Amino acid sequence: MIEIENFGITFGTGQKQIRAVRNFTLSVAEGESYGLVGESGSGKSTVLRAMVGIYSHWSGTISIDGKPLAKKRTPASRKHMQMVFQDPYGSLHPRRTVDATLSEPLAIHGLDNREERVLKILSEVGLGPEYRFRYPHQLSGGQRQRVAIARALILEPRVILLDEPTSALDVSVQAEILNLLSALRKTHGLTYIMVSHDLAVVGHLCSRIAVMNRGEVVEEVTEDQLRTGDVAHDYTRQLWTASHGYDRKALEGFKEFA
């Protein structure tokens, strides 16, 4: 479903130039949930933002369902691939009701039966019709993220990009959202790419995970490898150790990876 080859993106010019991602190659099968992990600044979210058209000055090739992705996205390609952002409050317009937020993409793409579609998608993400005319400030963090997921799904895409969709939520709510995402993927046959810095979160949802450091993939691991710590690269092992909580002895042995 997703093929990325030799992807690269650079920001700035001259001495201030930063190569945010380089030599990035990825292949994700239809219906698969694939993870990208790494510390802040490793280039994870940059890849997703290029895929949805926020950045257009990338190099390499991106193909979705066998079709090359143009740097200027078409309405059809936008409908085909949607994104859920990290901060559910920041990604929802504060002066628009849930109904207005969910109806807008339907109007843009000329889809009919809008009321029926809105009620159906609210039900699928676990929100009843009573939430339809509420504003973001009247919702909890988990409810706001459910609305953001509903907005991504209402156009019936085949690919969903998840940019740290649970990092702004309480731990108990994180589990609810992850279970919801897992159920929706199976119900709709969706393909996911999920970005996270939390190995436990990405391991819950993804069968394969690419570990990124300073704009490059250093290793690809399976869910089982992530669970057991059976990894090859020192950077991945350091991330795995850090994910198990604070350890003074382990921390003293941590190093920078150039």
The whole-number pLDDT of residue 257 equals 67
Are 37 and 202 in contact by the 8 Å Cβ rule? The answer is yes
Q: Where are the beta strands (DSSP E) in 140-215?
A: 159-163, 191-196, 208-213
d(CA 131, CA 71): 37
Residue 234, φ and ψ in degrees, nearest 5: -60, -35
d(CA 115, CA 103): 8
Query: Is the CATH number 3.40.720.10 carried by domain 2-252?
Result: no
List own/partner pairs for 231-235 with CB under 8 A and 24 or more apart.
235/211
Are 56 and 72 in contact by the 8 Å Cβ rule? The answer is yes
Averages of pLDDT over each 10 residues, the chain, 258 residues: 96 90 95 93 93 93 93 85 89 94 94 94 95 95 95 96 90 91 96 91 91 92 86 82 64 62
pTM exceeds 0.85, yes or no: yes
CB environment 141-156: b (16+ within 10 A), e (fewer): bbbbbbbbbbbbbbbe
Show the tokens assigned to 196: 């996270």
CA torsion through residues 176, 129, 101, 54, sign: positive
Q: Where are the beta strands (DSSP E) in the chain?
A: 2-11, 18-28, 33-37, 59-64, 67-68, 81-84, 159-163, 191-196, 208-213, 216-222
Domain ranges in the chain are 2-252
CB 52: neighbour CB atoms within 10 A?
A: 18
The whole-number pLDDT of residue 244 equals 66
